[in-house]
A and B are shown apart, each in its own frame.
Chain A
């Protein structure tokens, strides 16, 4: 099926198998391997990307469902100074160790930033409960996101 979408501001068009997941389209067809697959069950959040500004699990969405949409992946954050600031804060605050979950956390946090009405920074732990980190114990991630939202 023909699929047309915009990824990190750049239009893309291609013929994709109907069963191809959005994550595999990004990783294997567009070589955007910063989107990681941690469970392919929609639970761990590592594959989170923004689809028209909304956080989605790219492992549970088919590529063809993204037809006509605009996607943001971790590779697109350089273009957004606000997102880059969060990324830098996460690095400075040791909010990552192995780094596998980090792109997903960044995209989930970015969706929080754009929420209307604005989210209460006190609720950050529950708002990030859709992303799993096994290395850091979450403390440094929560602190960085709170400071950035605040």
Chain B
């Protein structure tokens, strides 16, 4: 395939991207939000300067309830509906001619807040605080553990983190009194789901709403939710009959967009003396914050994490009791890799622990337990479509020079250096379709995707999909693919995304569906179009409801820990990825490299913290640390290709794999580096403070710490 069309990148590099904050609409008012200073409170009377402020009740906003198996049915309530449930929650909207004056109005606003006791339930529908609960089970776990030579236990905690796109959220709502249609520009990954949610919250038919997506400065999952600010700005624009916009600042983003993870996984794993893993008994609790977030619901993180445990290994029996608990904290939603990162961290740390206990090399232990061949169905029913796990390991070992690395580590340790080598073998599910969502208890997401190929009178070829590009570059990939399939010049093809008027409805862009369901619908539409003469008037729509596919990978990291400041540094990173057929090598490389960098940040640096009073401690970039150029090594990237039989082109998606692999490889490398000191690490991030504390405990002969229990 030809090189990527550099037109978009060149325009962006000139500063010519039209992101949400760059849209100019005459007479547009600026909104700002009055946010809760308390974690849990009843909201009483509200007074605003000049009457320029409205609450949920004033705006008549309706809550949304995600329903499905295992869910308590607790609502998601825009602007709180008379209650504040976390610090930073938007409770009222104010407006002015510019942001400076709008913030003055926020300062002047007076909201009567009556603090509620910490044990007061956040939602009457969930008096015990459990928003979601289920058990995944397959095979006879108890028998497997009884048959084992030994049963090892572990407890692994993944920090509360956040996706952190460089562009914050933003929304601009523009009513047209002539047509009665409200156009809502928003920086989102899910235009159709935003429209559906807005319609329900505002009590409007969807036909009265048009959602448009401008250039988006990164999403990584956080922009795949409906937010209270979107609902409030839309309602305010309708109320005032004027365009209104809101641009989030970084403090708001860190405190009150959506967080991710904050999950504890407990494992009991039965193994034979030869290192064969017989059975896994797991228990997983995720703190999902104040709401069952819309549209993914409280089941997102715990279900994804639980189903990914030991996913790349041929384990005969697996049980995971899993639940989501609410807390007076920012709601938890999607972040690159979602719960798979949590599951892979626990799994891969445990596999290394087993290896150490049995004095078996970690690579060898993985060889003995890896899924031997695909297709393969796990005891909990994950039907791996494709993949070659033994070959992933062999390729990684050869590419990294594994034996030489271990020899080098041996010499480094003899010289007093803390050098660690960490491995990860993993898979993920991507392109999740309708049946998978229903089975996982999520009723609010369609799961299918659509594409449309249209030839207008001017002879251009318009390719419209239900996806929305957030900077991954898939739109450019689609243009090239369309040109190739249709046998036309790429310049003739226009890719349209992120406009509910011009694009066929679908699910949006997350779980790498841009390379699975959306791509499948596009291929079908393009092939149907190619069979015609592409005459003006041609208009073909195809819908795809993908079965889950399983990209896989094996990663290796080399980490050195400084024995004075305890700072871990990633010296080397080798990734072998199998995303099936590669549609565009440059996009795949960019996704893996960027994903690994995010994973390194997640494992070594990133953590949201709350104090005992429920106040967030990490609302600035001096407190919430994201990786810089100095933190990321070159990523040595190698490919294996086992095409999926479930998609026409055989692609499986690659948006998350880099991040997921790093949760295993980097974590294991840090742990391996300090293992000679007897230090045990199980709580992310593996920061200098945590490493130091673990080393101190080991020196004092104490058992590993149990923070967050």
Query: A residues bordering B, Cβ < 8 Å?
Result: 17, 19-20, 24, 27-28, 31-41, 43-44, 46, 73-75, 77-78, 87-88, 90-92, 94, 96-103, 106, 124-126, 128-129, 131-142
A34 touches B630 (CB 8 A): no
A99 touches B217 (CB 8 A): yes
State how many angstroms separate the Cβ of A35 from the closest Cβ of chain B.
7
B675 at the interface (CB under 8 A from A): no
Residues of B within 8 A of A88 (CB): 10
State how many angstroms separate the Cβ of A66 from the closest Cβ of chain B.
18
CA distance A6 to B15 in the complex (A): 19
State how many angstroms separate the Cβ of A131 from the closest Cβ of chain B.
8
Residue of chain B at shortest CB distance from A75: B15
A91's partner among B13, B247, B632, B634 (CB-CB below 8 A) is: B13
CA distance A148 to B361 in the complex (A): 44
A91 touches B6 (CB 8 A): yes
CA distance A44 to B250 in the complex (A): 10
A34 touches B217 (CB 8 A): no
Residue of chain A at shortest CB distance from B573: A137
Residue of chain A at shortest CB distance from B8: A99
Residues of A within 8 A of B10 (CB): 88, 91
B215's partner among A38, A90, A94, A99 (CB-CB below 8 A) is: A99
Q: Using known A-B contacts A98-B166, A134-B165, determine if residue A35 contacts B15 with beta carbons closer than 8 Å.
A: yes
A142's partner among B6, B589, B629 (CB-CB below 8 A) is: B629
State how many angstroms separate the Cβ of A47 from the closest Cβ of chain B.
11
A41 touches B620 (CB 8 A): yes
A139 touches B632 (CB 8 A): yes
A99 touches B629 (CB 8 A): no
B267 at the interface (CB under 8 A from A): no
State how many angstroms separate the Cβ of B654 from the closest Cβ of chain A.
13
B615-647 CB mask vs A (1 if < 8 Å, else 0) is 000001110001011101011000000000000
Residues of A within 8 A of B12 (CB): 96, 98-99, 102
Residue of chain B at shortest CB distance from A90: B13
16 contacts between A and B (CB under 8 A): A33-B18, A36-B19, A38-B168, A78-B14, A90-B13, A91-B6, A91-B10, A98-B12, A98-B167, A99-B215, A106-B13, A131-B629, A132-B628, A137-B594, A137-B595, A142-B629
Residue of chain B at shortest CB distance from A77: B14
Residues of B within 8 A of A124 (CB): 629
Q: Using known A-B contacts A17-B100, A99-B215, A133-B166, determine if residue A33 contacts B635 with beta carbons closer than 8 Å.
A: no
- Which residue, of A102, A124, A142, has the highest number of chain B Cβ atoms within 10 A? A102
A129 touches B166 (CB 8 A): no
B506-527 CB mask vs A (1 if < 8 Å, else 0) is 0000000000000000000000
Of the listed stretches B203-211, B443-451, B465-473, name the one at the interface; the rest are far from the partner chain: B465-473
Residue of chain A at shortest CB distance from B471: A98
A96 touches B626 (CB 8 A): no
B630 touches A139 (CB 8 A): no
A33 touches B597 (CB 8 A): no
A128's partner among B250, B473, B629 (CB-CB below 8 A) is: B629
CA distance A122 to B215 in the complex (A): 34
Residues of A within 8 A of B218 (CB): 97-98, 100, 134-135
Give the top 8 A-B pairs by smallest Cβ distance, nearest first. Answer: A34-B15, A98-B471, A99-B12, A100-B217, A137-B597, A74-B15, A43-B621, A137-B593
Interface size of B by Cβ–Cβ distance < 8 Å?
56
Residues of B within 8 A of A17 (CB): 100
A36 touches B626 (CB 8 A): no
B590 touches A135 (CB 8 A): yes
B76 at the interface (CB under 8 A from A): no
State how many angstroms separate the Cβ of A51 from the closest Cβ of chain B.
17
Q: Using known A-B contacts A98-B218, A136-B594, A138-B632, determine if residue A36 contacts B13 with beta carbons closer than 8 Å.
A: no
List 4 other contacts, CB 8 Å, given A27-B22, A135-B471. A40-B249, A74-B14, A91-B9, A140-B590
B220 at the interface (CB under 8 A from A): yes
Residues of B within 8 A of A139 (CB): 593, 632, 634-635
Residues of B within 8 A of A140 (CB): 590, 593
Residues of A within 8 A of B249 (CB): 40
Query: B residues bordering A, Cβ < 8 Å?
Result: 4, 6, 9-10, 12-19, 21-22, 24, 98-100, 164-168, 215-218, 220, 247, 249-251, 470-473, 586, 589-590, 593-598, 620-622, 626, 628-630, 632, 634-635, 658
B593 touches A44 (CB 8 A): no
B586's partner among A94, A129, A141 (CB-CB below 8 A) is: A94
Residue of chain B at shortest CB distance from A92: B6
A46's partner among B100, B166, B598, B658 (CB-CB below 8 A) is: B166
B6 touches A41 (CB 8 A): no
B632 touches A38 (CB 8 A): no
Residue of chain A at shortest CB distance from B595: A137
A96 touches B13 (CB 8 A): yes
CA distance A101 to B218 in the complex (A): 10
B630 touches A126 (CB 8 A): yes
B14 touches A125 (CB 8 A): no
- Which residue, of B217, B472, B632, has the highest number of chain A Cβ atoms within 10 A? B217
Residues of B within 8 A of A138 (CB): 597, 628-629, 632
Residues of B within 8 A of A128 (CB): 628-629
B589 touches A39 (CB 8 A): no
CA distance A32 to B166 in the complex (A): 19
Residues of B within 8 A of A125 (CB): 628-630
B17 touches A99 (CB 8 A): yes
A36 touches B629 (CB 8 A): no
CA distance A88 to B15 in the complex (A): 13
Residue of chain B at shortest CB distance from A40: B249
CA distance A21 to B473 in the complex (A): 33
- Which residue, of A46, A97, A129, has the highest number of chain B Cβ atoms within 10 A? A97
A137's partner among B215, B216, B635 (CB-CB below 8 A) is: B635
Q: Using known A-B contacts A17-B100, A126-B630, determine if residue A36 contacts B217 with beta carbons closer than 8 Å.
A: yes
A100 touches B594 (CB 8 A): no
B586 touches A137 (CB 8 A): no
CA distance A135 to B471 in the complex (A): 8
Residues of B within 8 A of A141 (CB): 629
A73's partner among B6, B15, B17, B632 (CB-CB below 8 A) is: B15
CA distance A124 to B634 in the complex (A): 14
CA distance A90 to B11 in the complex (A): 12
CA distance A134 to B632 in the complex (A): 11
B21 touches A33 (CB 8 A): yes
Residues of B within 8 A of A35 (CB): 15
B622's partner among A33, A43, A132 (CB-CB below 8 A) is: A43
Residue of chain A at shortest CB distance from B10: A91
State how many angstroms separate the Cβ of A58 from the closest Cβ of chain B.
13
State how many angstroms separate the Cβ of B258 from the closest Cβ of chain A.
15
Residues of B within 8 A of A106 (CB): 13
Residue of chain B at shortest CB distance from A106: B13
B594 touches A41 (CB 8 A): no
A134 touches B635 (CB 8 A): no
A39's partner among B21, B595, B621 (CB-CB below 8 A) is: B621
CA distance A82 to B484 in the complex (A): 36
State how many angstroms separate the Cβ of A60 from the closest Cβ of chain B.
13
State how many angstroms separate the Cβ of A72 from the closest Cβ of chain B.
12
Residue of chain A at shortest CB distance from B100: A19
CA distance A77 to B218 in the complex (A): 24
Residues of A within 8 A of B164 (CB): 134
CA distance A94 to B21 in the complex (A): 24
